[in-house]
Structure 1
Amino acid sequence: MTKTGRSGWRQSGPFPLADEVPVALSYDGVTQAVMMATPDDIEAFLLGFALTEGIIETPAQLTRHEIVDLERGIEARGWLAPEAGSAFRERRRAMMGPVGCGLCGIDSIAQALREVPAIATNSLRLDASAPCQALEALRACQPLQDKVRATHAAGLWRSDNGLVATAEDVGRHNALDKLAGKLKGDASGGALVVTSRLSVDLVQKAAMLGAEVLIGAGAATALAVDEADRCNLTLIGRASAQECQIYTHPERLLEEA
């Protein structure tokens, strides 16, 4: 098997396969999570994870980074501004304990069910047909998935110019984190769209980016709906090939004329 560089796939005989390697995300010398991920857009992954997990509040608080290729994986190292670093170390001390639930570097049930800030804005309005249009646009913009048929994608879709940014990864959370890094944490003026079911952790990440709308190719879990309702996020899932289900805050969708 020959690796094709950091393009996200490998060739195994006649078969193109999605590449998947352990990626350690470290901040100020402390590993926060080790994720199985596609080995491209790692800089965006490091930044996006820090933003969606509340390690930093702004991209400027990740002051520098280093990506190190190891024999069997990648270490992504980031260094934080002093105030963010102090908060991160305090968070790590609070997380220390004998039990972990194993969710993306989260060490407690309380942290897995963290309460994210409610979305303060309510300015986005989308046509009723926009959610299905956004999902179709994302499906048409997945070159890695077209090659390997084993990856997820996330994108930011705007009514005026369609998809403005996308990211792909073997992991659905990773794809959204890579997108967050590419957007520098700014999801304003558009809807986040993902190729997966809608779970509470995706809702939390979307809310941390200040997104008003999250659209998924699958259905939502009950907990995701509860959290989206609480944090003022419009949550929309695919109900059928031609129809989407609006779970929460339908006021952002315009009625058809």
Structure 2
Amino acid sequence: MRDVTPPSPARDVATSNGRRTLAEEIAVALTYQGSTHAVMMASPTDLEEFAIGFSLSEGFITKTTDIESLEILPHPHGIEARLWLTAPRAAAMAARRRKMIGPVGCGLCGIDSLDAALRPLPNRSATAFMVSDRALLRAALALRGMQPLQDATRAVHAAAFIAPEGQILCLREDVGRHNALDKLIGALLDAGTDPANGAIMMTSRLSVDMIQKTAMAGTPVLCAVSAPTALAVEQAARAGITLACLAGPEKNRLDVFSCARRIITKAPDED
């Protein structure tokens, strides 16, 4: 975070000259086997977890032991996350290699074929996890008070991992919603937490790339404060993922778009 003093306001504009904390945004290069694969604009925090989560959601690894070494190194123009994978995973990565420059608002920039945009996803229909609508609503309410970077800057997204009872077990923030999700996935893997035993809640809209990352992680429920796209609903249904969002003027209702069997409906007095 960085504190700055805004310039003097234009005449007749109702504003102030007080100091303001801004979110940091920095170029992070992800390199594998000595070659740069992607450059993402991200918040310069939790970058090891970001590299792990990105590697899993891209299908380059399936577990942390697929990474032989991981270094976070300063660079004159940003930061490099340098990874070396085991030989089998390096070969698998080469089969799905893509180069992209990914600004914070786009998660599929620069892919080299249309097929890669809608790649086949693992099907999570058999995952037994279930959660009540009241638990997800409680988690959403708690989420608002657990985002220090957002409170300070009003400019970042959060991704949280939710237990069946609604507790927030892990949360990560970033200027990019995709990065926040990758950081969360990486944090879960690094801690040895099975992503299949909880739900993910996002503070952003749900587009198809968020479905892809969730499916790759193995999490069966994805919920957000904003509505999904039509393609996201279609892909979630195909991948066996329960997709939901907060709805209503007070965000006190849950709309479920796919695999609704995992959401247990409870009255407020049943908790």
Aligned length: 243
Shift of 1:62: 1.0
Residue from 28, 40, 44 that aligns with 1:39: 44
TM-score, length of structure 2 as denominator length: 0.85
Take 1:128 and 1:102, find their aligned partners in 2: how far apart are those partners? 29
Which residue identity lines up with residue 167 of structure 2 in the other structure? G
Q: CA RMSD in A?
A: 1.8
Alignment check: 8 A CA contact 1:28 1:78 kept: yes
**Alignment deviations for residues 88-112 of structure 1 (CA, whole Å, 9 cap, x no partner):** 12323xx58xxxx982553222111
Take 1:25 and 1:108, find their aligned partners in 2: how far apart are those partners? 21
Which residue identity lines up with residue 251 of structure 1 in the other structure? R
- Aligned positions of 1:44-123 closer than 5 A: 44-92=49-97, 95=98, 103-104=108-109, 106-123=111-128
Question: What secondary structure sits across from 1:196 in the alignment?
Answer: coil
Residue number in structure 2 paired with 1:3: none
Shift of 1:255: 2.7
- Aligned positions of 1:191-206 closer than 5 A: 191-206=199-214
Take 2:181 and 2:27, find their aligned partners in 1: how far apart are those partners? 17
Which residue identity lines up with residue 188 of structure 1 in the other structure? A
Take 1:37 and 1:174, find their aligned partners in 2: how far apart are those partners? 7
Shift of 1:139: 1.9
Q: Bigger shift: 222-231 or 23-32?
A: 23-32
Which residue identity lines up with residue 157 of structure 1 in the other structure? I
Shift of 1:188: 2.0
Which structure 1 residue ranges, 4+ long, deviate > 3 Å from structure 2? none
Residue from 157, 161, 169 that aligns with 1:152: 157
Residue 237 (structure 2) pairs with residue 245 (structure 1): no
Residue 175 (structure 2) pairs with residue 170 (structure 1): yes
Gap runs ≥5 in structure 2: 6-18, 100-105
Shift of 1:252: 0.7
Q: Which has the larger radius of gyration?
A: 2
Question: What secondary structure sits across from 2:84 in the alignment?
Answer: strand
Alignment check: 8 A CA contact 1:33 1:105 kept: no
Alignment check: 8 A CA contact 1:43 1:67 kept: yes
Q: Bigger shift: 239-248 or 225-234?
A: 239-248
* Identity among equivalent pairs (%): 44
Residue number in structure 2 paired with 1:6: none
Question: What secondary structure sits across from 1:122 in the alignment?
Answer: coil
Residue 232 (structure 2) pairs with residue 224 (structure 1): yes
CA shift in 2, pair 1:91/1:128, >3 Å: closer
Question: What secondary structure sits across from 2:131 in the alignment?
Answer: coil
Q: Bigger shift: 156-165 or 79-88?
A: 156-165
Question: What secondary structure sits across from 1:147 in the alignment?
Answer: helix
Gap runs ≥5 in structure 1: 1-8
